[in-house]
Amino acid sequence: MKIDIITVVPEILNGPFSHSIMKRAQTKGLLEVNVINLREYTTYARAQVDDYPFGGGAGMVMMIEPLVNTVESLQKTTHYDEVIFLTPDGETFNQKMANHLSLKNNLLMICGHYKGIDQRFRDHFVTKEISIGDYVLSGGELAAAVLTDSIGRLIPGVLNDETSALSDSFQDDLLAPPVYTRPETFRNWKVPEVLMSGNHKNIDQWRVEQSLERTRLRRPDLLKD
Ligand code: 6GU
């Protein structure tokens, strides 16, 4: 899978994909992430990419022309399955969307900044608008990193048995159960006995019960259907 990300602050995206599972996904050739600097595609003086809103009001608006130049240039060599605009007024991202997007070949993400982007770009180029939650970020970069990480780790072959996505919270609409490792006793705090029993039927049952209990207490909304 290829994920191309258009941004005016490419520096923010240098770190998130250079380590751990995202790094391995790229090394294995299963994921390619390209960060594209919008300013390199503008034909305006001083690499301008934003301007005052028509009708007045606070904040700047990202201009349509640099965005279209960038997208159309990329589209010469890549067919995108989705053109995703990261914006707080988009559909709230969840695991189901991550699963769905992990099956695509090519994704283009556009990070918003300032007061937003010219609506005509959204109308004519964007196929999906996604938010990562009900709070406001300074720009879409961190949201693009969140999507790329959650989608990238689901690509077949990225995770091994040890890091399997099957036991993740949300994968079956349940939160993950508690986990423990050595030592068996720390400051007189003991690991639940069942985990030390070697009885895998009991262990599996305990984990399901814990998942259900945790979900009931913390996220009862997940159990409604
Ligand atoms: Cl995608 N962008 C911004 N700027 N803020 C957000 C967001 C996205 N998702 C939640 N808050």
Evaluate if residue 110 carries a pLDDT over 70: yes
The pLDDT of residue 166 is above 80: no
Residue 113: is its pLDDT beyond 90?
no
Residue closest by Cα to atom 7 of ligand 1: 88
The pLDDT, as a whole number, for residue 114 is 76
Q: Residue 30 above 70 pLDDT?
A: yes
Distance 189 CA to ligand 1 centre (A): 40
Mutation pick for ligand 1 pocket among 8, 13, 87, 93 (CB with most ligand atoms within 8 Å) = 87
Lowest mean per-residue pLDDT among 8-12, 67-71, 167-171: 167-171
pLDDT for the residue 160: 85
Q: What is the pLDDT of residues 206-221, one digit of tens each?
A: 999 999 999 999 999 9
- Asked if 31 and 152 count as a contact pair (C-beta separation under 8 A), the reply is yes
Q: How far is Cα 201 from Cα 203, in angstroms, rounded to an integer? A: 5
Please report, rounded to a whole number, the percentage of residues in the chain having pLDDT higher than 90: 89
Distance from the alpha carbon of residue 136 to the mean position of ligand 1, in angstroms: 5
Average pLDDT rounded to a whole number, residues 137-157? 97
Confidence category of residue 224, pLDDT binned at 50, 70, 90: confident
Confidence of residue 163 (pLDDT cuts 50, 70, 90): low
CA 119 to chain centre: 23
pLDDT of amino acid 209: 98
pLDDT at 76 over 70: yes
Q: pLDDT digit string (tens) for 186-211?
A: 999 999 999 999 999 999 999 999 99
pLDDT score of 167 more than 90: no
Q: Which two tokens stand for residue 82?
A: 């989705």
| Mutation probe of ligand 1 site: the residue of 137, 138, 142, 149 with most atoms within 8 A of C-beta | 137
Closest among 88, 36, 84, 44 to 64, alpha carbons compared? 44
Per-residue pLDDT at 133 exceeds 90: yes
Q: What are the structural domains, with CATH classification, of the chain?
A: 2-152 (3.40.1280.10), 169-223 (1.10.1270.20)
pLDDT at 162 (0 to 100): 66
Whether residue 34 is predicted with pLDDT greater than 90 in this model: the reply is yes
Which amino acid is located at 161 in the chain?
D
Report which protein residue has its CA nearest ligand 1's atom 3: 137
Ligand 1 pocket mutation pick from 12, 86, 142 by most atoms within 8 angstroms of CB: 86
With a CB cutoff of 8 Å and minimum separation 6, the contacts of 208 are: 177
Question: Which atom of ligand 1 is found nearest the CA of 90?
Answer: 1
Report the percent of the chain where pLDDT is more than 70: 99
Give the predicted TM-score (pTM) of the model: 0.94
